[in-house]
Amino acid sequence: MAKREIQEINAGSMADIAFLLLIFFLVTTSMDTDSGIVRKLPPMPDPNQEQEDIQVKERNVFVVLVNRSNQLLVEGQLMNVKDLREAAKEFIQNPNNDENLPVKEPKYFEYFGTLEVTSKHIISLQNDRGTAYKTYITVQNELAAAYNELRDELAMSKWFKKYDDLDEKYQKVIDEIYPMKISEAEPKNVGG
């Protein structure tokens, strides 16, 4: 009988053990790629500091109201949420220098020179306490989309790349030309 040089421990079941452990991990953990809309909340106003009411011209403000029945009232008119993106883009860009849309002022930007931009525009969003969260997210999404589309268009026309593919310093300049100015007021019970 020749001396057996085979392994004492049968390693054939190592694969089975490994499979079991793998399945355990697949089941108990979550590859939860958490993604969502990123926002920054405004800090709480200092109670001791005097609240100065900033004077804004009506033409510089884009008023979006959402009521309890998830209907939108944009600048005093009923609007379907599908049309919000285009309306917001027109407001932010004011391509024809319309008098009812924000004031366009010339400002100097690196890489672009002097451009006329609506530097003082504000989008004001007000919900009702009874508005559905998904409507709120849809509105936020469409407003963010308006800004992102404008930024993409500008990046394409200047550097032939989409905004996300640009270097950080170029992105910063575009952010200055189209800053995201979405202001949210506290929801009241404005009713349906």
Partner 1 sequence: MAHFKKKKKGFPALSTASLPDVIFMLLFFFMVTTVMRNAELKVKVAPPKADQIKKLENKSLVSYIFIGVPQQTKVFGTLPRIQLNDQFAEPVQIREFIAAEREKMKEEDKNKMTVSMKIDSETEMGIVTDVKQELRKASALKITYSTLKGNPLDRPVNY
**Closer residue to partner 1 in complex, CB, 13/96:** 13
Phi-psi region of 104 (alpha: psi -120 to 50; beta: other; left: phi over 0): beta
Say which residue the tokens 């200047």 belong to.
Answer: 158
Q: Are residues 137 and 148 in contact, defined by beta-carbon separation less than 8 angstroms?
A: no
Contact flag: residue 32 with partner 1 (CB under 8 A): yes
Binding mask 59-88 for partner 1 (x = CB under 8 A): ----------xxx--------xxx------
Contact flag: residue 25 with partner 1 (CB under 8 A): yes
- CA-to-CA distance for 29 and 59, rounded, in angstroms? 52
Token code pair at residue 42: 């405004």
Stretch that binds partner 1, among 25-33, 47-55, 115-123, 171-179 (CB under 8 A): 25-33
* CB-CB neighbours of 93 under 10 Å: 19
Stretch that binds partner 1, among 37-45, 51-59, 91-99, 114-122 (CB under 8 A): 37-45
Binding residues for partner 1 restricted to 89-118, rule: CB under 8 A: none
Q: Please give the single-letter amino acid code of residue 15.
A: A
Contact flag: residue 133 with partner 1 (CB under 8 A): yes
Contact flag: residue 168 with partner 1 (CB under 8 A): no
CA angle 37, 39, 41 (to 5 degrees): 150
**Closer residue to partner 1 in complex, CB, 119/141:** 141
